[in-house]
Structures are given as structure tokens and as C-alpha cells.
Amino acid sequence: MNAKDYLDILHVAEKLKDTPRHCTTTQGRTESVAEHSWRVSLMALLLRHEFPDVNIDRVVDMCLIHDLGECFTGDIPTFIKTDSDRSVEDSLLNQWVSSLPDEVSAELESLYAEMKAQITKESKIYKALDKLEALIQHNESPLSTWAENEYELNKTYAFNTVEFSDWLTELRKEILQDTLDKIDGGV
């Protein structure tokens, strides 16, 4: 890949720094998609020793790229995102990925296909971490920023996504306890 192509990719990805997510940070500032993707990636890296049979580098790769489609559509919260929204995002992302240099395009297409299929343990871990990070962030954000439906959503969301792993199921239970404590404390 030449330097110009490399910079072009980075310029597109930079949009995620300015793409707001539905959630806020601990201080009440609107979180960006880039911040979410960074922490999901960090979460994967930190699991290297919990999943020694898994290619954690591949999981980190998935976490880094999982929301690149939002460069083109913005972030739409999962509880209002429609199949049509997903289709538009996927189409725009696929067009962009196919326009990249061959070696990059092939690598990203392979990762996205694996992520979509949700067959490998790597893809299942990425998907679980993506959902769990959103829950963790909600628990860290001020309760005053929560939408009404999030009180119940934070109690039930992603349990089915982690059921393949005892460790991730235990993490989900800890997140639930944080949610209950937050709601009970009213902060």
C-alpha cells in the first residue's frame, strides 16, 4: 500500500472521533464511536490469558474495525436501529472496503465475513465485548443521561451473547450487579 492510500484510510476512520454515540462518559460528555472502539479493543487485549486457545490479535482487529461503517451513517443506538439502517451501513461500508488496496480490502472483507457469520470463538468474543462495553459505559454515565428503556435494557441485554463462555457470563453478571447498584443508588 502506498502512503497516499494509507492516509486516505486514516482520514475516513478519523470521522469516528467526531461521530457521537448515544451514551455519555462519567463526566456526562457524549462519547464518540472511536472511544467505544478503543475500549472494546482494550477489553479484548486484556483477555489474552483468559482465552489462551483464541487468536486474541484477530479479536482486537475485529474490535478495531467493527464500527467503521458508522463513518458513513453515524451511530444509531441498537434499540432503534432497523434492518434498513443496517443494510445502508453495510452497503456503504462494503463499497468503501472494496475500493481499498487489494491486500487491505481482502483482509477487511475476511474479518467482516467472520464477524457476520458468528461461528468462530474470535467473532463471538468480539460481539460479546462490543455489547458489554456499551453496558459498562452506561453504568459509568450519570443516571440522568439514561433513556427510560435503558433501565430494563441494562438488566437484560447481551446475556444470550455471552452464554458460550463461562468467563464472559460471569463478567455479564458483574455488570448486572453494577447496574442494579447504580439504579438503587440513583446516581
pLDDT digits (tens, 9 = 90+) for 6-61: 999 999 999 999 999 989 999 999 999 999 999 999 999 999 999 999 999 999 99
Checking if the pLDDT of 181 tops 90, the result is yes
- Look at the chain and report how many structural domains it folds into: 1
Question: Looking at the DSSP assignment, which residues form a beta bridge with residue 75?
Answer: none
- pLDDT in the model for residue 77: 86
Q: What pLDDT digit, counting tens, does each position of 54-105 carry?
A: 999 999 999 999 999 999 999 998 888 999 999 999 999 999 999 999 999 9
Element spanning 85, H or E: helix 83-98
pLDDT, position 52: 97
Sequence-distant contacts of 160-164: CB under 8 A, at least 24 apart: 161/124, 161/127, 161/128, 161/131, 162/128, 162/132, 164/121, 164/124
Q: Which pLDDT belongs to residue 79?
A: 83
**Alpha helix ranges (H) inside 99-165:** 102-117, 121-140, 150-156, 159-162
Q: Show the domain range for 114.
A: 3-185
Contacts of residue 175, defined as CB under 8 A and 6 or more positions apart, other chains included, come to 132, 135, 136, 139
> Residues 6 or more apart from 12 whose CB is under 8 A from it?
68, 71, 96
Q: What are phi and psi of 74, to 5 degrees?
A: 80, 175
Check: CB of residue 66 under 8 Å from CB of residue 40. yes
- pLDDT the model gives residue 3: 97
CA distance 63 to 29: 23
CATH of the domain at 68: 1.10.3210.10
Rg, Å, the chain Cα set = 17
Q: Which amino acid is at 113?
A: A
pLDDT in tens, 117-165: 999 999 999 999 999 999 999 999 999 999 899 999 999 999 999 999 9
Residue 187 pLDDT greater than 80, yes or no: no
Contact 30, 24 (CB under 8 A): yes
* pLDDT over threshold 80, residue 186: no
The set of long-range contacts for 77-86, using a CB threshold of 8 Å and a minimum separation of 24, is 77/22, 78/134, 79/149, 79/153
Could you give the count of Cα atoms lying within 13 Å of 23 in the half-sphere of its Cβ? Answer: 20
